[in-house]
Structure 1
Amino acid sequence: MSVSSAAPALRWTLSRKIAAVLAAAGIGLVIIGATGYRSVETLDDTAAKVDHTYQVLAQLVGLSASLKDAETGQRGYLITGDEDYLAPYTQARTDLVAEQQALRTLTADNAEQQKRLDTLAPLVDDKLAELQETIDLRGGAGGFPAALKVVQSGAGKTVMDQIRTVLTDLQSAEVTLLRARSSAADDSATRAQPVIGFGCGALLIAIAGAGVVLARRIAGPVHEVTAALKALENGDLTVRVPVHTTDELALMASSLNAASSGLRETIGGRMGQAAEALSREATQLTTISSRLESDAAEVAQQAADATTSSEEVSHGVQTIAAGAEQMSASISEIASNAAQAAEVAQQGLAVANRTNEQVAELGAASAEISDVVRLITSIAEQTNLLALNATIEAARAGELGKGFAVVAGEVKELAQQTAKATEEITARIGAIQGSSESAARAIHEIRDVIQQIGDYTTTIASAVEEQTATTGEMSRTVAEAAGSSSGVAGTVSTVAEVASSTADAARTTQRTAADLTRLADDMANLVGGFKH
């Protein structure tokens, strides 16, 4: 049997709750990650720009160093006249071209720096021209004095001062950019640090709080369901689990409540009623079997009396036969014997009628027992069906219903024992009914025979005056009566045996009724072991 219960609609399932917490944590991580990524991206961009600025500064330093190398080589040659001193100068001229080109490439996005490089380029060319002029003069006819005169003119120093001014402006501009970019990197890091730090802390707190709340909402219903299952294990069918949420735990609690209600209705209601009905019918069967035993004993006693009467009839008929042989000597003796035979026949007829009535009552009692047995069989089948339903309900509960599955199996076994006992009772009652019908037919035959005996003795009494003429006929009639009286004795003996068998069957029925009573008590005790 199944019991329906309104299950809560699953709106916020456990998976949705956990997914919501994880989604919130994911959103927080995305925000923090995006902030961190943006900061790192800014730092990378700033670092690239700073590195670019350092490259420009390095090129400016290199250009300044190349100019100094050119002057150093020129001075060494002017002083010594040794061309080996011109190596730095020669290398510087090549380096200056490359360094100016590198500076133009590095500052291509900076118009101000490009203008300064435009100013620097002719100055560098002028400086190199002035250096080359002095070198040429030193190697020419004028020699060192001619070269010294050009140097002393101050034109080279003037150009070099202008170059230094432009280089200083270029370096100052790059240093300013370096400071601005470093400041921007610091600002980005300063902004990102609290966002990442506080964001991570807040996210951890939020996740921990959500985890605690979610754990409480899961652990609480689980503890309640566990307590309810322990109560069911102890036989308490009144337990109910409160439903607080709309998730799987609420569905589990509702299912447990429905199962508990179904068990309470099955065990406390129908099985209890079945046990009470079985007890009542077993009591009624005991009463009927007791009455059947009493009636069978009475039938046996009446059969014994009928046996005695039939023996008396047989003896009387034999006496009549003897008197028939001596009819000629004593007609009065024949009349006396005929009267005695008529009286005995009447007694036998009365006994046969009573026996027939008692056997009819025995058949009616057997029919009543059959009705009771059919009722018990129906109850056993219903009990077996209830046990099967209880087994199904226990199987649905899984591990939670194992204890009750054992109880349902015991109830089913008791129902099967009841069905077996009722089958045995049915068989025995069928035998009793068959024997009762046989006894009724035999008693009917006895009654007919006794009636014939009465007729015969009446004929004998009325024909006493004609005894002489009918002696031969009377002898034949008395011989037939003797045979019939012997048959009566045998039939009555059979009735006595049938009555004895009926008494044995009644005692067996009583024992079966006692077994049914014990079975009903066991079922009542089983049902009483549950709280419902």
Structure 2
Amino acid sequence: MRSCRHGKCARRPISPATCDTHESGVSAAISGRTFSPAPPFASQLRSPALTHTRAARPTTTPSGSRGSSARPFRLGDIRIGRRLGLAFGAVGALVLVSAGAGLAAVAEQRDIADELSGVAGVQQQAETARFQIADVSGWQGLVMADVAAYGPQAALAPDAYNRSGLLESKDGVYEWLAAVDTSAMDADERATWAELEPAWDNYFAMDDQVVAWVSDGSPAGYRTAVESINGGEAGEGYGLILDIADRMQASAGERLDALVEEQRDAQTRATLILSVVGGLAVLLAAIAAVAAARSVVRPLRRVQASLEAVAQGDLTRPADVHTRDEVGQMAASLTTAQENLRRLVSSVVASADAVAASSEELSASSAQISVSAEETSAQSGVVAGAAEEVSRSVQTVAAGAEQMGASIREISQNAAEASQVAARAVTAAETTTATVAKLGESSAEIGNVVKVITSIAEQTNLLALNATIEAARAGEAGKGFAVVANEVKELAQETAKATEDIVRRVEAIQKDTGAAVGAIEEISQIVGQISDRQTTIASAVEEQTATTSEMSRSVQEAAGGAGQIADNIGSVSTAAESTTQALTQTRTAVDELSRMAADLRTEVGRFTY
């Protein structure tokens, strides 16, 4: 088995004979016919009757591109899944960029907020320093009041209320100084902060001096202490701590103002970046979505238009999609399917026309055979008449043989007439033999024609099967063509049944023709024997007395042969009538076959290819 190289039997195994039928056409399959052969498929496809509207079809490669030359890269060359993945990936990347920009802005804001918190802590430490010096100074004033009221001994005792409060505040100041975190301070602020503890040391040293001044209880000592507190060295220590706190607070305030401005700038910058990046992300996402959608929708619409044209019977409208993605591959497959359908429809049309032509020729041959059969029947009547005449002559000869002695001349005359009749019978028998032999040849030609019709019906059935397969591959769009292919298949099956009936009838005709030929040959032999006997009678007239008995016997045999001739000629006439009836049925079947071929041609004619 091998595959046909002509496209008519694509994708199915066939025998070499079937492919040769494609290659040589119908005329090569119908050899030895007396009628003109049908033109080959190639000439039929070029004939005006089979020329439909054929659009110029570009040569496409299996990948859907035109030709084999290199072309620039297109978005449609990327497979749809990967294309959508790239689009979503780009959108995701833009979202990540937007999120990254937002996170960067948030991080920047967080850093500024952390720094603001630290600077606010520095301000709080400065305020705490101011509170501490105010607290300690307040306790100091209360102690001085106690000294004035209760005397130095009671006021400066460790368990005195105001003095113990001052000492506890002193301890709290040093504990606070030890616990202060200076990481939020800048270098200048750390330097300023470093001056605070010596200032406190100086302050508490002056406090010890004040205590020493008031300890003796003298007014001069008390006055010296008050003067020191109110503008002297003790007051300067108080002012130094306040100055340090003020400088720390001023520096922290400047930094706070700068950080607030920086925070505003960062917010403005973050808003601008997020707006720009978000806008670009939305724009690029929209562009990517539109590009991806258009790269899929536009080719799909072309494929849809081509499929709608196929559904309407137009096989000349290609999808015109030249991408390498799934849609391009689908369009290339659709174009291939359209080309295969065009070849199939062309083949079906050619086959239908060939069947119609063969049907016409077969009808003409049937008419010719019918005329020959009628002539055979007429000749049989003539031969039967001659046989009856021979029989009557032989009977006359038999009667004359009894009166041989008195009717020698009459016997000679009758013998001469019998010889002439026998000659005519031989001539008629030879004519009948030739006619019946011609009838046998015509029957054989009918058999050859029927074989051709059977071959065409089988090929039509195979083409219909191929059409059904191609329609199934086309899916929903091929259902209409599948119905047509099924009708073609049913027509081919009906054609095969009709040809089988013709074969049976032709075989019956051939059998009857063979019997008629045998009977006529036997008639020819008998008539020849009659001629021989009449010659013997003519030569033996002079010896009539001695051969009278032999002549009577020969005449009786001649009478029997004449009767047999009549019987055989009757059989020939019956066979000729049967042949005429069979040919009538054959012509009916041929007309039905021609009608089915016309119906098939009409069904296929609605396609534009």
TM-score scaled by structure 2?
A: 0.78
- Residue 260 of structure 1 corresponds to 338
- Which secondary structure state, in structure 2, belongs to the residue aligned with residue 345 of structure 1? helix
Q: Which amino acid aligns with 1:52?
A: G
* Alpha-carbon spacing, 1:68–1:351, altered in 2? closer, same or farther (3 Å): same
* Alpha-carbon spacing, 1:94–1:425, altered in 2? closer, same or farther (3 Å): farther
- Residue 193 of structure 2 corresponds to 117
- Residue pair 2:530, 2:558 contacting (<8 A) in 1 also: yes
| Of 347-356 and 428-437, the range deviating more from structure 2 | 428-437
Gaps of 5+ in 1: none
1:355-380 CA-partner distances (Å, limit 9, x unpaired): 10101111221232233223323332
- Residue 300 of structure 2 corresponds to 222
Q: Which amino acid aligns with 1:286?
A: S
Distance 2:223 2:403 in 1: 210
Equivalent of residue 127 in structure 2, options 54, 61, 67: 61
Distance 1:22 1:258 in 2: 34
* Alpha-carbon spacing, 1:87–1:259, altered in 2? closer, same or farther (3 Å): farther
| Of 355-364 and 255-264, the range deviating more from structure 2 | 255-264
Distance 1:234 1:245 in 2: 26
* Alpha-carbon spacing, 1:173–1:322, altered in 2? closer, same or farther (3 Å): same
* Alpha-carbon spacing, 1:110–1:330, altered in 2? closer, same or farther (3 Å): same
Distance 1:87 1:460 in 2: 193
* Alpha-carbon spacing, 1:48–1:305, altered in 2? closer, same or farther (3 Å): same
- Which secondary structure state, in structure 2, belongs to the residue aligned with residue 236 of structure 1? coil
- Residue 207 of structure 1 corresponds to 285
Distance 2:218 2:510 in 1: 166
Q: How does 1:382-531 map to 2 (within 5 A)?
A: 382-531=459-608
- Which secondary structure state, in structure 2, belongs to the residue aligned with residue 466 of structure 1? helix
Distance 1:162 1:359 in 2: 155
Equivalent of residue 424 in structure 2, options 344, 347, 351: 347
Q: CA deviation at 1:502?
A: 1.3
Q: CA deviation at 1:142?
A: 4.4
Distance 2:350 2:192 in 1: 113
- Residue 198 of structure 1 corresponds to 276
- Residue pair 2:136, 2:169 contacting (<8 A) in 1 also: yes
* Alpha-carbon spacing, 1:111–1:322, altered in 2? closer, same or farther (3 Å): same
* Alpha-carbon spacing, 1:133–1:497, altered in 2? closer, same or farther (3 Å): farther
1:260-318 CA-partner distances (Å, limit 9, x unpaired): 34333432x33322222221111110000011111112212222332333233334334
Q: CA deviation at 1:517?
A: 1.2
- Residue pair 1:373, 1:426 contacting (<8 A) in 2 also: yes
Distance 1:91 1:349 in 2: 171
- Which secondary structure state, in structure 1, belongs to the residue aligned with residue 195 of structure 2? helix
Equivalent of residue 228 in structure 2, options 109, 134, 153: 153
1:78-97 CA-partner distances (Å, limit 9, x unpaired): 54558445675455344323
* Alpha-carbon spacing, 1:143–1:412, altered in 2? closer, same or farther (3 Å): farther
- Residue pair 1:72, 1:88 contacting (<8 A) in 2 also: no
- Which secondary structure state, in structure 1, belongs to the residue aligned with residue 100 of structure 2? helix
Distance 2:274 2:207 in 1: 60
Distance 2:237 2:316 in 1: 110
Q: Which amino acid aligns with 1:36?
A: G
Q: Which amino acid aligns with 1:174?
A: A
Q: Which amino acid aligns with 1:198?
A: V
- Which secondary structure state, in structure 2, belongs to the residue aligned with residue 531 of structure 1? coil
Equivalent of residue 288 in structure 1, options 342, 365, 375: 365
Could you tell me the percent identity over the aligned residues? 37
- Residue pair 2:374, 2:576 contacting (<8 A) in 1 also: yes
* Alpha-carbon spacing, 1:87–1:466, altered in 2? closer, same or farther (3 Å): farther
1:171-205 CA-partner distances (Å, limit 9, x unpaired): 22222222233332222222222122133223323
Q: CA deviation at 1:340?
A: 3.9
| Of 108-117 and 451-460, the range deviating more from structure 2 | 108-117
Q: CA deviation at 1:347?
A: 2.5
| Of 121-130 and 246-255, the range deviating more from structure 2 | 246-255
* Alpha-carbon spacing, 1:73–1:336, altered in 2? closer, same or farther (3 Å): same
* 1:165 maps onto 2:240 in alignment: no
